[in-house]
């Protein structure tokens, strides 16, 4: 069933676990993620990058996500990931998103607060919750990322914007880490405390060691984003098929393996974050 961001984050908050949020790119990655969620009886977030919200991809992909969510027996939220401005937010809402991330983390704090607050108010009119970001989560290729989220700034941001959940920088980054990250778990606790318990979001979920993921969830992370691992699982399944001399070239049959490898990866993440069985 299609649910909004507030509902699915509320489930995680109540049960002290974390919702896996998978970035999807095509019908096969959607199929793999939803198949895993059904098998594990887990609530999931299916999210798209703003670059996909165009007439070439989004026009087809977004209706696929909505159809899959509506058919699913488990709660599924369709979320915009890293929306930079109202333009992308409007497009995502037009295509039925039930969760929005407004990422104003590149702006100074006051500007980030102003733009996020405006989007929270707009989305409230149609019952859609908003994820904000404070402390810019960059790429594993960035030179330095030492401006970790400040708990006092986070408290001000949460109070003034009214976001549903908050993405933070605590040693995480997008992409596969060159060496294992070291998450600042004490900072997670401090941000939770300073904000009165805002549900936190961990971006860059591909490649964080399992014990650190678990510690972050114990400290208050309620949504973990997984993008690179979706791509790698899809590519691995494609390669396996290509390497099989008996493969069929019929695209629907060719795609069975990539769907299966995405499903397998998604099942592992669902279990890691403790979301399995939570939709029963």
Work out how close the CB of 197 gets to ligand 13P at its nearest, in angstroms, rounded to a whole number: 22
Work out how close the CB of 26 gets to ligand 13P at its nearest, in angstroms, rounded to a whole number: 16
**Phi/psi at 132 (5° precision):** -110, 175
Paired strand residues for 22? 46, 226
Torsion of CA 170, 138, 10, 129, to 10 degrees: 140
Spell out the residues 6+ positions from residue 166 whose beta carbon is closer than 8 angstroms to its own: 131, 132, 133, 134, 154, 157, 158, 191, 195, 198, 199, 200, 201
CA separation for the pair 157, 211 (Å, rounded) = 29
Question: Measured from the CB atom, is 46 or 226 closer to ligand 13P?
Answer: 226
Q: Is 204 one of the binding residues for ligand 13P (CB under 6 A)?
A: yes
Strands 200-202 and 99-102: unpaired
Q: Is 225 one of the binding residues for ligand 13P (CB under 6 A)?
A: yes
Question: Under rule CB under 6 A, how many of the chain's residues touch ligand 13P?
Answer: 14
Question: Measured from the CB atom, is 81 or 184 closer to ligand 13P?
Answer: 81
Binding-site member from 228, 233, 255, 269 for ligand 13P (CB under 6 A) = 228
Strands 221-226 and 200-202: parallel
Q: Is 211 a catalytic residue?
A: no
Work out how close the CB of 141 gets to ligand 13P at its nearest, in angstroms, rounded to a whole number: 12
Q: What is the DSSP letter of 179?
A: S
Query: Which residues in the 8-27 window bind ligand 13P by CB under 6 A?
Result: 23
CA separation for the pair 211, 22 (Å, rounded) = 20
Scan for tokens 């318990």, then name that residue.
197
Query: Which residues in the 38-97 window bind ligand 13P by CB under 6 A?
Result: 81-82
Cα separations (Å) of 189 from 90, 249, 275?
34, 51, 21
**81, 103, 229, 276: which is the annotated catalytic residue?**
81
Work out how close the CB of 248 gets to ligand 13P at its nearest, in angstroms, rounded to a whole number: 31
Query: Which residues in the 160-189 window bind ligand 13P by CB under 6 A?
Result: 174-175
Work out how close the CB of 243 gets to ligand 13P at its nearest, in angstroms, rounded to a whole number: 25
Q: Is 129 one of the binding residues for ligand 13P (CB under 6 A)?
A: no
Binding-site member from 164, 206, 212, 261 for ligand 13P (CB under 6 A) = 206
Q: Is 203 one of the binding residues for ligand 13P (CB under 6 A)?
A: yes
Q: What is the DSSP letter of 143?
A: S
Write out the residues near ligand 13P by the rule CB under 6 A.
23, 81-82, 174-175, 203-206, 225-229
Active-site residue numbers? 81
């Amino acid at each position: 069933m299609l649910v909004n961001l507030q509902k699915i984050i509320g489930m995680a908050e109540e049960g002290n676990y974390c919702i896996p949020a998978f970035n999807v790119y095509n019908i096969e990655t959607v199929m793999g993620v939803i198949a895993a969620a059904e098998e594990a009886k887990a609530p999931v977030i299916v999210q798209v990058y703003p670059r996909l919200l165009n007439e070439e991809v989004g026009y087809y992909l977004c209706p696929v996500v909505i159809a899959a969510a509506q058919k699913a027996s488990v709660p599924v939220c369709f979320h915009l990931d890293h929306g930079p401005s109202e333009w992308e937010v409007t497009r995502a809402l037009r295509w039925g998103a039930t969760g929005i991330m407004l990422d104003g983390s590149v702006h100074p704090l006051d500007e980030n607060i102003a733009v996020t607050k405006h989007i929270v108010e707009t989305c409230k009119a149609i019952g859609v919750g908003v994820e904000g970001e404070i402390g810019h989560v960059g790429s594993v290729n960035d030179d330095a990322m030492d401006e970790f989220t400040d708990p006092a700034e986070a408290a001000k941001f949460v109070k003034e914007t009214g976001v549903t959940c908050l993405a933070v920088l605590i040693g995480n980054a997008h992409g596969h880490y060159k060496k294992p990250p070291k998450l600042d778990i004490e900072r997670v606790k401090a941000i939770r405390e300073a904000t009165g318990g805002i549900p936190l979001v961990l971006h860059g979920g591909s490649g964080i060691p399992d014990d650190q993921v678990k510690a972050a969830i114990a400290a208050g992370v309620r949504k973990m984003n997984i993008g690179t691992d979706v791509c790698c699982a899809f590519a691995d399944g494609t390669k396996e098929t290509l390497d099989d001399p008996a493969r069929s070239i019929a695209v629907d049959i060719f795609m069975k393996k990539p769907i299966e490898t995405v499903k397998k990866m998604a099942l592992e993440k669902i279990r890691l974050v403790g979301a399995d069985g939570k939709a029963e």
